[in-house]
């Protein structure tokens, strides 16, 4: 692809199951021009037979893609590799066991601009009976324009189900040393020059609820304590680096949120 894409879709995967084919199929069904977006698939962990399997499947699709392999494990590392190789003006993150509606990219791009983050509804499905927390949250407060990032901070806790301007991300990357809460830290760190959220009315992100996914595994107590302290430190460091452009209410709310999450994860153990 010679022209610069409008959107770069970053898809990290490690030892992927057949769920990833649902994700790839949804990308191939986009009504957004295939010339206007690229898909960066970052495979890390075991290379074989996953690389061969993905390469064979990808030849069936029409969208532009770049399959990258890295020996270094971790979803944050994979996402950072995607960011380093992305060429689009906007970034969309998708997890390999989720999928998107056919109008996902087109509807988010319609409302995208450099000083806002475009978001959409989240639909939970899968093996677990409880719905994902953003599902009802976005449906309840679904407005065209949201200017209070503090009030809608839960939306900023995950990198997917949104279109983020590349200019807002800049050199910001996911922290490799943090294994729980790094998503919220990354997105919050990208809000220095973000003034509002725009919500697409008809696009949907489908998140698969299942046991055994990385975000739902038990965490050893010592690691959980270290992770929590490091996360609090990183929030403080990020805010202090640019206090005039960040929302102090948003960052202040992250501290009790980190502690609350620590307690929840501790109980889960």
Local structure of 108: helix, strand or coil:
helix
Cβ atoms of 200 and 118 closer than 8 Å: yes
- Number of other residues whose CB lies within 10 A of the CB of residue 21: 16
Q: Backbone phi, then psi, for 188, in 5-degree steps?
A: -60, -35
pLDDT in 10s for each residue of the chain, 269 residues: 458 999 999 999 999 999 999 999 999 999 999 999 999 999 998 999 999 999 999 999 999 999 999 999 999 999 999 999 999 999 999 999 999 999 999 999 999 999 999 999 888 888 765 556 666 666 666 567 777 899 889 889 999 999 999 999 999 999 998 989 999 999 999 999 999 999 888 899 999 987 655 445 678 899 999 999 999 999 999 999 999 999 999 999 999 999 999 998 888 87
Check residue 105 and report its DSSP letter. H
Token readout for 102 is 């056919």
Q: Within 146-247, where are the H helices?
A: 166-169, 182-189, 221-241
Taking the C-alpha atoms of residue 231 and residue 220, their distance in angstroms, rounded to an integer, is: 16
Rg (CA), the chain: 18
**Three-state DSSP class for residue 153:** helix
User: First and final CA of the chain: distance in angstroms?
Assistant: 48
Cα gap 32→105, rounded to integer Å: 6
**Confidence at residue 133, expressed as pLDDT on a 0 to 100 scale:** 61
What b-and-e string marks burial along 134-158, b requiring 16 or more CB atoms within 10 Å of the CB? bbeebeeeeeeebeebeebbebbbb
What pLDDT shows up at residue 174? 98
pLDDT computed for residue 22 by the predictor: 97
d(CA 199, CA 16): 31
Q: How far is CA 104 from the centre of its chain?
A: 14
Tally of CA atoms within 13 A in the half-sphere of 269 that contains its CB: 14
Q: How many CB atoms lie within 10 A of CB 130?
A: 8
Per-residue pLDDT at 211: 64
For residue 216, what pLDDT is reported? 53
Burial label for 70, CB within 10 Å (0-12, 13-18, 19+), is: middle
């Amino acid at each position: 692809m010679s022209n610069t894409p409008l959107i770069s879709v970053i898809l990290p995967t490690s030892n992927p199951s057949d769920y990833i084919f649902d994700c790839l199929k949804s990308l191939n069904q986009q009504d957004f021009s295939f010339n206007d977006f690229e898909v960066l698939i970052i495979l890390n962990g075991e290379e074989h037979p996953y690389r061969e399997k993905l390469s064979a499947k990808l030849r069936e699709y029409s969208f532009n893609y770049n399959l990258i392999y890295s020996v270094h494990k971790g979803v944050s590392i994979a996402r950072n590799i995607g960011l380093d190789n992305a060429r689009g003006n906007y970034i969309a993150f998708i997890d390999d066991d989720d999928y998107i509606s056919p109008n996902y990219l087109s509807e988010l791009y319609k409302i995208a601009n450099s000083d806002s983050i475009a978001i959409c509804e989240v639909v939970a499905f899968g093996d677990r009976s409880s719905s994902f927390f953003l599902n009802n949250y976005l449906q309840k407060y679904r407005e065209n324009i949201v200017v209070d990032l503090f009030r809608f901070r839960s939306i900023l806790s995950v990198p997917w189900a949104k279109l983020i301007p590349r200019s807002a991300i800049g050199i910001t990357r996911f922290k490799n040393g943090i294994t729980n809460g790094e998503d919220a830290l990354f997105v919050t760190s990208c809000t220095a020059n973000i003034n509002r959220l725009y919500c697409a009315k008809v696009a949907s992100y489908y998140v698969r609820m299942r046991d055994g996914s990385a975000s739902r595994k038990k965490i050893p107590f010592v690691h959980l304590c270290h992770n929590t302290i490091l996360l609090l430190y990183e929030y403080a460091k990020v805010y202090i680096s640019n206090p005039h452009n960040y929302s102090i209410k948003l960052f202040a709310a992250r501290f009790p949120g980190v502690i609350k999450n620590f307690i929840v994860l501790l109980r889960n153990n």
